[in-house]
Each structure stands twice: as C-alpha cells, then as structure tokens.
C-alpha cells in the first residue's frame, strides 16, 4: 500500500539531513562532465535547506516538493537527488528512490550516500544481489563504518541464503505443507484449559456459531487453538485450488453486494465494517480485495476471520489476492513475525501455500472488474488473458500477474514507470481503452490510502477503495466500502467510516529487522 508514513511507523530517525550535506560532492573523473557549473544558485540551495528541515520533521511529501524545486533550478547536484531519494524511501516510493539514487551516482560516482540510497531501494524491492553490489561499494570505501559493515554483512547473508535455498530446491521433492500437516491434525491435543471456539465435531467444519464465537474470542485478545487454525488453512487450500484465477460473480436483482479494500491487520476496524454493514451471509455477500495482512498487528485475527467466512460461505464471500499476500512482504511488514509469535514457524509455510492460490481478480455481472492493483503495461491484455494466468506462485517481478496486484492509476494520459518500482502507472486513456475493449462499465481497485477511504478517477472508470481507517495509527484517513445493488444500475455507493479503538499493540510490532536495511 502506498503511504506517506515513515518506515517502522515512526518519524525519521537515525541519519538526518544536516548542514554538512550542502557541501559540494567530490567530483570523480567520470562525473565531472555531468556536473556542469561547480555550484548551484543560492535559490536552489535555499530550497534544499528548507527540504532538509521538512525531512527532519517527518514532512516527507513537503521535502520531496522542495527538493524537486531545487532540482528544477539546478539538476547537476548529486546531493539533491540523493536527498530526494531518501525522502522517497520514507514514503515508500521505492521506484522513484531507485531512479534518483542512480541519477546521483551518474552525477558523482564518489558520493557514498547515493550508493546507500540505491542499495536501500533495491533491498526494499527484494533485489538483494543489486543491493549487495552497492553495499559492497560503501563498505569498501568506508571500511571503518560499522553501519555500512553491518548492512553489507546482513545483505550478503541473505544473498547466500537465497542461493542455498535455490540449490536445494532442485534436490528435494516439494512436499505440500498443508498436505503434510493434515496427516497430524488429529493427534494435536486440545488442552482442557482451552475455552475458545471449536470446529464442528462432524467433519471439523466452520459453522455460523464458530464464527461468532471466534470474533468474541478475538475481542478478548485470545488465540484460536492451533489445531483449528491448521484445519482452516488445510481446508482453504482445498477450496481455493478449485477456484478460478478470474472469478465470475453474479449479483441477483435487488441484492446488495459489498466491496472492501485493504484491511491490513486492523481487526477492530474490520469488526466495525460488520457492525455498520452486517455480518456476511448468503444474502449479504462481500468481496475483500486483498492486503488482509501486514502493518497492523492483528493480522492473524483478520486472516482467520476472513478465511472462516470464506469456508462458511464459499459462494457469497470472496477474497482476492493483494500484493501483501506474498512471501517477501510478509517477511518484512510483520505478518510472518506475528504468525511465529502466535503460532509457529511451520504455519508460515502453510500461509504461503494458501496465499499463492488466492484468485487475482473478480468480474461482477460481466461489467465490473475488481483487482487489487490495476491495469497493464500493454493494451492487448483481455479478460480471457487474466483467466489463463497460472497464479499458483509467489508474485513475480513483472508481467500481468504482477501488474494486477501492484499497478496504480495516474492523472496524466499514457503510462509511466511505477513510483513503487514494480508494475506501472496507467492514465485515464489506458483505463478507457481497457474498459471499452472488454465491455466493462468501470474497474475497482484498492492498494492506496485515500483521505475519504475511496476515490473516483478517470471519469468514473477507475475507483479506489481502502478500508483501513487511520492507517498504521498515523494517517488520519477514513476507511470506506462500496455497495452495489444487482440489476441494470450497478452504480457504486460509498460509505466512509472512522477508526475505532484497539488494544495497545502498536502497528508493525512484529515487523522484521530487515527493515533497518532500507530505512
């Protein structure tokens, strides 16, 4: 999800923009020609100074704007680009951060901070080998820098681990974690002290009673027994294996249908949606459009609630994959750590297997396409192409599957490189052509925080819905959901809502120490 919050949900910490950064970078033989005039005009340096102050106050968007003004006046300063790259890192615009850092290096190959920035952006994007190359540069040039050494060592360890995992993957036959655990479920003891919800004795199935008891149990900050948690994951694998990549959804005439966006582990706000709009049922269908986990520290509660509802109402409760239903994002942004804290390492493997099977998009009455991210880098992608995607994998770096889960709309026509460094940004003309070519009224997507919880763009053809209010306890945004009524008129109706109190567990409480490598 695109945000303007600091990594780790804190204001900028550690290295700050200081007056020493106004010093001209040391020129190298390969960068002198690019540097142009040896010093920027005073007006540009003033913008840079103001930007540094805004950055140190945590006002990253303002800092980006001021650095951009400095660059408009003088585009030969490696410092300006490297500083703006740092601000983009803080707002998680990793694609822009990567571009600015690379430009800074092109201007001055001796400017060490630019290598830091580029390595950090590549780390955030999971491009560990590229990050290692830059961390190696920094470590080699500053052998006494303990921070540089620590980041180089940690990144090198990750690259070696990835190489090892790739090597052994060819040597051992892959065993399904869900299939493996299913063989030992009956031997898991349910302690006499356990006072929580239980699956039905006949077939260990989810019932309405189980769901209502589960919600009450979670309100008391208690944990579902591991036997039932594993059973839900095993059953979800079986259910999702039979679902299509693009799920067709029919909304009967006069029936209300609700679309929710990201909930990001904000369990008590999820409960509030059900308070406002009613619990899901066969007559009150819902679609949750990805990013169920990460960031918020009640992701386990969110996912088992949503999975239980899917098992209870497989034909009227729908779940789509988001970009955070992936191995790397879960490792960094908290879900993996939360699962390990509340259950065990083994369960992480089951979630990976189940997440890989989540549908990528839903088609409502043949007229509304709903996906987490957005549209494609090419105009020739059709609904039939989406149906043919083999989704049973972690999210790739490029291609239609990646774009469905990562792309963002933009106001300008055409396409542009993504601010995130993955997929693309698409303009109103792209949306118009896609809808016309595929017979659609409009598309619905999520993936971005919006002040009112929703946004209507591209002349009504592209709608964003985001359902995590006061995202990460810092953003101050409202959440929203969309309701449609089956029939000829599928016009969206929006309901915005505020956040509700939750127990005093901070967002990102379970996030990985790997975040320090790119923060």
Q: For helices 112-124 and 146-169, what crossing angle results, to 10°?
A: 30
Residue 94's CB: how many other CB atoms inside 10 A? 25
Cβ atoms of 160 and 147 closer than 8 Å: no
d(CA 424, CA 447): 13
- Strands (E) located in 221-373: 246-249, 256-260, 286-288, 317-319, 361-364, 368-371
CA separation (Å) from 424 to 86, 95, 465?
21, 10, 19
Helix, strand, coil percentages (3-state) for the chain, rounded to 5, are: 45, 10, 40
What does DSSP say about strands 317-319 and 286-288: parallel, antiparallel, or unpaired?
Answer: parallel
Geometric angle at alpha carbon 193, from 191 and 195, rounded to 5°: 105
Whose CA is closest to 407, among 446, 369, 437? 446
- Strands (E) located in 387-510: 408-409, 415-417, 424-426, 442-445, 454-457, 462-465, 479-485, 493-497
Cβ atoms of 263 and 302 closer than 8 Å: yes
* 3 state SS for 418-440: CCCCCCEEECHHHHHHHHHHHCC
Cβ atoms of 6 and 515 closer than 8 Å: no
Whose CA is closest to 463, among 476, 478, 447, 475? 447
Burial of 183 (0-12, 13-18, 19+ CB in 10 A): exposed
Query: DSSP alpha helices (H): ranges in 315-355?
Result: 327-333, 335-342, 345-355
The H or E element that residue 32 is part of is: helix 32-35
264 has catalytic annotation: no
Cβ atoms of 473 and 506 closer than 8 Å: yes
Two structure tokens written together for 267: 């369990």
Whose CA is closest to 445, among 420, 411, 409? 409
Q: How far is C-alpha 412 from the chain's CA centre? A: 24
* 3 state SS for 127-145: CHHHHHHHHHHHHHHCCCC
Catalytic residue among 59, 324, 372, 447: 324
Bridge partners, residue 190, by sequence: none
Q: What residues have CB less than 8 Å from 436, skipping those under 6 apart?
A: none
Largest CA distance in the chain: 79
Show which residues are catalytic.
Answer: 324
């Amino acid at each position: 999800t695109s945000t303007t919050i600091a990594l780790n949900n804190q204001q900028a910490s550690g290295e700050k923009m200081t007056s020493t950064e106004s010093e001209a970078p040391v020129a190298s033989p390969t960068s002198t020609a690019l540097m142009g005039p040896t010093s920027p005009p005073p007006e540009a340096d003033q913008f840079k100074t103001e930007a540094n102050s805004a950055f140190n106050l945590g006002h990253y968007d303002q800092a980006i704007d001021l650095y951009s003004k400095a660059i408009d006046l003088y585009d030969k300063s490696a410092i300006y680009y490297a500083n703006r790259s740092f601000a983009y890192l803080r707002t998680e615009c990793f694609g822009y951060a990567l571009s600015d850092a690379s430009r800074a290096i092109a201007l001055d190959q001796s400017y060490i901070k630019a290598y830091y920035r580029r390595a950090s952006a590549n780390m955030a994007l999971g491009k560990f080998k590229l990050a290692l190359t830059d961390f190696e540069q920094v470590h080699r040039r500053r052998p006494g820098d303990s921070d540089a050494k620590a980041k180089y060592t940690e990144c090198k360890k990750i690259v070696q681990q990835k190489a090892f995992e790739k090597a052994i993957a060819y040597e051992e036959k892959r065993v399904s974690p869900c299939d493996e655990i299913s063989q030992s479920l009956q031997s898991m003891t349910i302690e006499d002290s356990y006072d929580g919800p239980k699956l039905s004795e006949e077939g260990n199935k989810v019932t309405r009673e189980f769901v209502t008891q589960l919600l009450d149990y979670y309100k008391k900050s208690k944990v579902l027994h591991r036997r039932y948690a594993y059973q839900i994951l095993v059953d979800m694998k079986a259910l999702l294996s039979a679902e299509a990549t693009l799920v067709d959804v029919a909304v009967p005439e006069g029936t209300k249908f609700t679309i929710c966006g990201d909930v990001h582990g904000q369990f008590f706000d999820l409960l509030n949606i059900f308070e406002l709009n009613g619990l899901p049922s066969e007559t009150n269908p819902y679609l949750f459009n990805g990013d169920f986990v990460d960031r918020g520290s009640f992701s386990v509660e969110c996912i088992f609630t949503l999975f239980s509802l899917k098992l209870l109402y497989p034909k009227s409760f729908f779940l789509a994959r988001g970009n955070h239903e992936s191995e790397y994002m879960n490792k960094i942004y908290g879900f993996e750590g939360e699962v390990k804290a509340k259950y065990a390492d083994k369960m992480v493997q089951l979630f990976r297997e189940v997440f890989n099977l989540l549908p990528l998009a839903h088609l409502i009455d043949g007229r509304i396409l709903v996906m987490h991210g957005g549209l494609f880098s090419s105009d020739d992608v059709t609904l039939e192409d989406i149906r043919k995607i083999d989704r049973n994998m972690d999210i790739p770096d490029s291609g239609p599957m990646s774009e469905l889960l990562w792309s963002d709309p933009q106001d300008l026509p055409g396409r542009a490189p993504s601010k995130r460094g993955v997929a693309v940004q698409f303009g109103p003309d792209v949306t118009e052509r896609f809808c016309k070519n595929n017979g659609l009224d409009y598309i619905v997507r999520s993936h971005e925080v919006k002040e009112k919880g929703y946004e209507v763009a591209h002349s009504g053809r592209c709608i964003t819905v985001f359902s995590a209010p006061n995202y990460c306890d810092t953003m101050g945004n409202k959440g929203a959901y969309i309701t449609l009524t089956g029939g000829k008129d599928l016009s969206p109706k929006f309901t915005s809502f505020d956040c509700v109190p939750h127990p005093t567990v901070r967002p990102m409480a379970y996030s990985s120490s790997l975040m320090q490598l790119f923060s």
